[in-house]
Amino acid sequence: MASTSLRSLLRTQSAIPRLSRGYAAKAKTLKETLAELIPKKIENVKAIRAAHGAKSFGEYTVDQAYGGMRGIKGMIWEGSVLDADEGIRFRGKTIPECQDLLPKAPGGNEPLPEALFWLLLTGEVPTQEQVTELSADWAARASIPKFVEDLLDACPSTLHPMSQLSLAVTALNHDSAFAQAYQEGINKKQYWQTTFDDSMDLIAKLPAIAGRIYRNTYGGGNAPAIDPKADYSQNLSTQLGFGDNEKFVELMRLYLTIHSDHEGGNVSAHTGHLVGSALSDPFLSMAAALNGLAGPLHGLANQEVLNWVSRMQKEIGQDASDEKVKEYIWKTLNGGQVVPGYGHAVLRKTDPRYTAQREFALKHLPDDKLFKLVGQLYELVPDILLAAGKAKNPWPNVDAHSGVLLTHYGFTQQNFYTVLFGVSRTLGVVSQLIWDRALGMPLERPKSYSSDAIKKMFEKK
C-alpha cells in the first residue's frame, strides 16, 4: 500500500512540470491580470498617502474658481497624464510609443484599441494572444437587448445621434451587474468586479448600438451580425457600412486609440468620474459623460473645424495661395470669431494626436485637397494667432484634423462624428471607473462659495 502511495505521489510530482508549463502557456485574462494588480495598487496608494497625504498641491485663486477651475489639481486619474509641453501619455507611454509597442491586427500598422484598453487598465503592454482573446470576449458580449433595439428604432431620424447613444447606454442599466449586486449587499471590496463586467459589456455593445443609430438615421439597411473573429475596429466599421475599406478600418484603430483618454479634467471624463462616485453603475456614469461630450466646446469641436475649413475652401478655392488662406484667417479673427481646432486648455505645443493623424494622412491620402488645406493652416495659423495675441497656445489640437480624415473615406455625416468620439472615450472613462471602485474612491464633493461670500472673505485682506 505504501508502494502504491509512493507511485501515486511520484506520478503527481512528475505531472507538476507539465501542468505548470501548460498553465504558463495560457495567457491571463484581463480580469485575472487586474485581480493580481489591485492589492498591489491599494498598498501603493496607502504608501503614497502616508508619505505625501498632508502635502499641498499649491494655492488656488478666485480667478480660477470663476474660470472653470483651470489648473486646479484635485483629481486622481490613473490611465493618462497630460503634460502641457509633451502632450498625452497613456500609462507613461507616448502615442508613438503606443503605436510601436501595442499589438496590431495582422497586416495592420495602427495599435488595436483592445490593446490600449488593456494598457489603460493595467499599465502593462498585453501580448498578441491576450488582445486576440479580449477581441473575442467583446464580440461575444456584443448583442444588445431587444428592448434597446426597439428603443432606438422608435427614435425619429431627426433626433441627434448623440442623444440616441446616450439614451441607449442609459437603458443598458436595466441589466447592470453592479446595480444588482449592490442591491443584494455585495461587499464593497468586490465592487470592482461587477463594475468590470458592466464596463466590458458596455464597450462590447457600442459597435452594434452605433451601427443601429447610423443606419436608422442615414439609411443603409440592417447591420450584419458581429463577427466573433474580427477585432473591435473591424466590427465597428462593418456596423457602419465601411468594413470593406481596409484603410478606413485602420483609421478607426488609430482614432479609437488616440481619442480614448485625455486625463481626468476634461468634461466627459470628469463627468463620468463624478457620477460614478455616487456609485452609479457604468452605464449611467458613461451616459452622463456622453452628454458632456456632446457639447460644442468638447466633442463637437471637430465638426466645427470641418465646417470652417469647408467654408474656406468654397470661398477661396481648393488650391488657394498662402496669401488667400492668410486673408481668410484674418477675416475670421477680425469678425470676432476663433479659428477652430487651434489652442488647448492645457497643451502648449502641437497636440500629439494631431501629429498622429497628420502622419496617417501623409501616408494614405497625401493628395487629398482638404488635407492639403489643413496642411497650409498648420503652417500659417500659429504665426497669425501669435501676431494677433489671440492664444497662449497657437498650435493645432486633435480636432483640427479628424474630420478631414473621416470625410476623405466618404464618412460625411458630421452629426455622427461625436458618436465615434464617444465610443472611443468610453475606454478611458470606464477604465478609471473600475479603479475608482477598486481603490474605494469616495463621493466627490468639492466646496463651493457664492460671489458674496468671496467678497466678504477678502474685503478686509
Instruction: Map grid coordinates 497625504 to a residue.
Output: 53
Task: For residue 286, give the C-alpha cell.
Answer: 458613461
pTM beyond cutoff 0.85? yes
Per-chain mean pLDDT for the chain: 91
Q: Please list the residues that pair with 81 across neighbouring strands.
A: 89
Rg, C-alpha atoms of the chain: 25
Helices (H), 53-127: 62-66, 95-101, 113-122
Backbone CA torsion sign across 430, 240, 127, 26: positive
38-64 pLDDT, tens digit each: 999 999 999 999 999 999 988 889 999
Compute how many other C-beta atoms are within 10 angstroms of the C-beta atom of residue 371.
21
Confidence of residue 305 (pLDDT cuts 50, 70, 90): confident
Nearest Cα residue to 98 out of 88, 106, 107: 88
Confidence of residue 291 (pLDDT cuts 50, 70, 90): very high
What mean pLDDT is predicted for residues 327-345? 88
The catalytic site residues sit at 298, 344, 399
301-408 maps to CATH 1.10.230.10: yes
439-454 pLDDT, tens digit each: 999 999 999 999 999 9
123-173 pLDDT, tens digit each: 999 999 999 999 999 999 999 999 999 999 999 999 999 999 999 999 999
Confidence of residue 14 (pLDDT cuts 50, 70, 90): very low
pLDDT at 296: 84
Confidence of residue 342 (pLDDT cuts 50, 70, 90): confident
Confidence of residue 30 (pLDDT cuts 50, 70, 90): very high
246/256 Cα distance (integer angstroms): 15
Nearest Cα residue to 206 out of 89, 114, 107: 114
Whether 461 has a pLDDT exceeding 50, the answer reads: yes
Highest mean pLDDT among 1-15, 72-86, 186-200 belongs to 186-200
Length reported for the chain: 461
pLDDT at 7: 41
Q: Give how far Cα 190 sits from Cα of 335, 381, 437, Å.
A: 56, 51, 8
3-state secondary structure of 104: strand
pLDDT at 171: 98
- DSSP per position, 308-363: HHHHHHHHH-TT--HHHHHHHHHHHHHTT---TTB--SS--S--HHHHHHHHHHHH
pLDDT at 345: 67
